[in-house]
Chain A
Amino acid sequence: MTTRVTPLVIALLLTTSFSVSLISSVSAAPELSGVWLLNLPDSESELFLTAEGQRILNAYDLLNDDPSLACTPASSARIWANPNSLIKIEQFADRVQISYELFDLRREIPLGDASTLTDLPSTRNLDGTYFSEMGSSFAHYEGDHLLIESRNHAPGYIRTSRGIPQSANTIALEDLSVVDGVLHITHTYSDSTLFEQAFVLNYTFYSASETDVSIYNCTDADYDWFNALNAKPEGDSQ
């Protein structure tokens, strides 16, 4: 039997070969893809702040300074550690994409070294607004782990409940692995201006039944509209 190899067949073969190459590359990586939900409680290391770190923490006013009041992520740690919010991880040959339901955040992390960093933050919401509070990230695989390093952070808060700060000097390392179906993340924050020792958080996540995150559409997160309702007229001393 004679087979005629047409240009179309060649193109198909090349495409197939390229696809297999991509899949092979991805299949060598640990399987982290899926939709995840936070287990509670999470845990954290003891906090050793520098004088500057302590100053920022002392000045923090939860009721006014929490970036969440503006539907803004305070830090990547704050977004990971949000109960009941779906997180979807997708692995590609050249990048990892993490979709956080909270605030509709989409984080695109190139695989490679620090040379893959760009001036743009890695995270934006569905409106296209970038959030440097989440830093600029790159990642690589080491054995069964995905390691994400983030730099170029805007000032923010690792823990909004207490005002544990991050700064432009902060370097964050997220170590992701799946053990027995549970996603484990160790999140290490280093910043010599804020911490005497690295601040380490540990989270675990269970696999959710959902296949995608929902649209969050954060609205009216602040209390201005409500406070206005109970505001006393000027001159009313009561």
Chain B
Amino acid sequence: MRAFLLLAALMLGLCPAQAHHSTNANFTQEIISVVGVIERVRFQNPHASVLIKHTEADGEETFWLIESGARTTLERQGVTLDLLEIGSKITATGRKGRRDYTMYLQKIIFEDGSEFIPQPDLN
């Protein structure tokens, strides 16, 4: 477990009923959180995503890809990613991906403490 993971891994016993089949295959049930600055927001298919840059205490930088549902699905649910501004510092929480530095987004917390939960039914 890398040092920059803020939360200890939790085993989430739930298997989201609305989850994409490949989502369950591509992401573990382990919940992690990562702090980073938003570099890019991609509202597209097959997955909307937010790219953040995380900086470790020693200055090493890594990019994390925080993935969410398909654009078409989010649009039908009335979700946009307009709140996510480039340069904003956030804490992203979600299911750790099987690919390095990836996560399936559950929640973003902004510096002012406000939260963004795009798909509450998946949490």
Residue positions of A touching B, CB distance < 8 A: 40-41, 62-63, 66, 68, 71, 81-86, 101-102, 159-162, 210, 214, 216-221, 223, 226, 229-230
Contact = CB atoms under 8 A, between A and B. Distances in A.
A220 B17 CA distance: 26
Contacts of B65: 223, 226
B46 A221 contact: yes
Given A83-B18, A161-B22, 20 more contacts: A40-B18, A62-B26, A62-B98, A63-B98, A71-B46, A81-B21, A82-B20, A83-B19, A84-B73, A85-B72, A85-B73, A102-B46, A160-B21, A162-B25, A218-B46, A220-B42, A223-B99, A226-B51, A230-B63, A230-B100
B88 interface: no
A161 B25 contact: yes
A102 B21 CA distance: 13
Nearest to A218: B45
A160 B22 contact: yes
B72 A82 contact: no
Contact of B17 (A40, A81, A226): A40
Interface of B: 17-22, 24-26, 42, 44-47, 51, 62-63, 65, 69-70, 72-73, 75-76, 98-102
A71 B44 CA distance: 13
Contacts, number: 72
Nearest to A215: B72
Contacts of B47: 221
A197 B2 CA distance: 45
Interface of B is mostly: mixed
B22 A84 contact: no
A99 B99 CA distance: 32
A112 B32 CA distance: 54
A226 B101 CA distance: 9
Contacts of A160: 21-22, 25
A226 B69 contact: no
Given A219-B44, A230-B63, A83 B21 contact: yes
A86 B72 CA distance: 9
Contact of B45 (A210, A219, A226): A219
B100 A161 contact: no
B46 A230 contact: no
A87 to B, nearest CB: 12
23 contacts: A63-B98, A68-B22, A68-B46, A82-B20, A83-B18, A83-B19, A83-B21, A84-B18, A84-B69, A84-B72, A84-B73, A85-B72, A160-B22, A161-B22, A210-B76, A216-B70, A217-B45, A218-B45, A219-B45, A220-B44, A223-B99, A226-B63, A230-B100
Contacts of A230: 62-63, 100-101
A62 B28 CA distance: 13
